[in-house]
Structure 1
Amino acid sequence: MTDCVFCSIVAEDSPAYRLYEDEHSLAFLDIEPATRGHTLVIPKTHYETTTDMPNSLAGRVFKTVHHVSDALESAYQLDGFALVQENGVKAHQDVPHAHIHIIPRYGDDVPDLGWSGERVEETTQQKVTATVRDELASDA
């Protein structure tokens, strides 16, 4: 896609601090990081969301997420890391190219990850469980 900033990075038409790449994916530092080492992992082929990607590519991209997360943990002795993935404008996806954020966590840092969870009633959880299980069964 010609007007996609991430496709431009893949094509090396736009700069990025590249950490890792293979035939299918690319990992580079976020230009507005939540914490030191905040990394984005993308498929090299343009897909707007992760659910648009073929299963085989999604697996390859998450293999890169695993590989780079492990390197970040080792290099910075992280206290943990968050994986964040947003699909669609309503979910705050800023760039319409599938991407996964690896956000390193350090001691008392407090990056805003975008939600303030509240407990939900058990009947609501049961209804959601049944609805999603039915959908998964229909895909089988």
Structure 2
Amino acid sequence: MTAYDPNNIFAKILRGEFPCYKVYEDDHVLAFLDIMPRSTGHTLVIPKAPARNIFDITAEDYGHVARGAHKIAAAAKTAFKADGMTIGQFSEASGGQVVFHLHMHVMPRHDDVALLPPTSRKEDPKVLEDHATKLIAALQAF
């Protein structure tokens, strides 16, 4: 397996070298909006521990990511009046992984609305700011 690359885009976000629309952070995880969302409120939850994918993250660190995704999902359901939620984690290119820092996708879903194709469009920054504000407000209840 290929080694973790500390210069991947998510590692740079963690170090503050690249901006993001942060919605949640604790000692173990960072959650921010996907700039190419597949649904309204599509959020990524990443560990602060360096991990390429599910094959090299510790169970403890993965647990932190899962708990973060759980928290984001609950708040996103409220913030975006979602009917359901799709949670995804892809490992290695053949598994659909594009950025090689472990991350979980939290995608609010609405009845009869399909997910957009991956990387199909970049969202307007004003829309992302609005979505971040809504999600941050909803997280206050959790």
TM-score, structure 2 length as denominator? 0.76
Residue number among 65, 74, 77 corresponding to 1:70 in the alignment: 74
Quickly say closer, same or farther: Cα 1:39–1:71, change in 2 above 3 A: same
Equivalent residue in structure 2 for 1:34, among 32, 38, 42: 38
How many equivalent residue pairs?
114
* C-alpha displacement of 1:90: 0.6
Q: Does 1 or 2 have the higher relative contact order (CA < 8 Å, sep 6+)? A: 2
Deviations 1:67-105 (A, max 9, x none): 111110111221101011100011120001100001110
Letter in 2 for 1:71: A
* Richer in helix (by share): 1
Q: Distance in 1 between matches of 2:21 and 2:71?
A: 17
Q: Gaps (5+ residues) in structure 1?
A: 115-140
Give 1 or 2 for the bigger CA radius of gyration.
Answer: 1
Aligned-pair distance for 1:52?
1.1
Change (3 A) 1:2 1:51: closer
Asked if 1:50 is matched to 2:27, the reply is: no
Secondary structure of the structure 1 residue equivalent to 2:98: coil
CA contact (8 A) 1:80 1:104 kept: yes
2:114 and 2:39 map into 1 onto residues whose CA distance is 9
Does structure 1 conserve the Cα–Cα contact (< 8 Å) formed by 2:31 and 2:44?
yes
Offset of 1:112 from its aligned partner? 5.6
In 1: Cα distance, 2:51 partner to 2:8 partner: 10
SS at match of 2:7: coil
CA RMSD between the two structures:
1.5
CA distance in 1, matches of 2:60, 2:49: 13
1:95 to 92, 95, 99: 99
Q: Which residue of 17, 23, 39 corresponds with 1:19?
A: 23
In 2, are the aligned partners of 1:43 and 1:99 still within 8 Å (CA)?
yes
What amino acid sits opposite 2:44 in the alignment?
L
Does structure 1 retain, via aligned residues, the 8 Å contact 2:39–2:116?
no
TM superposition score normalised by structure 1 = 0.77
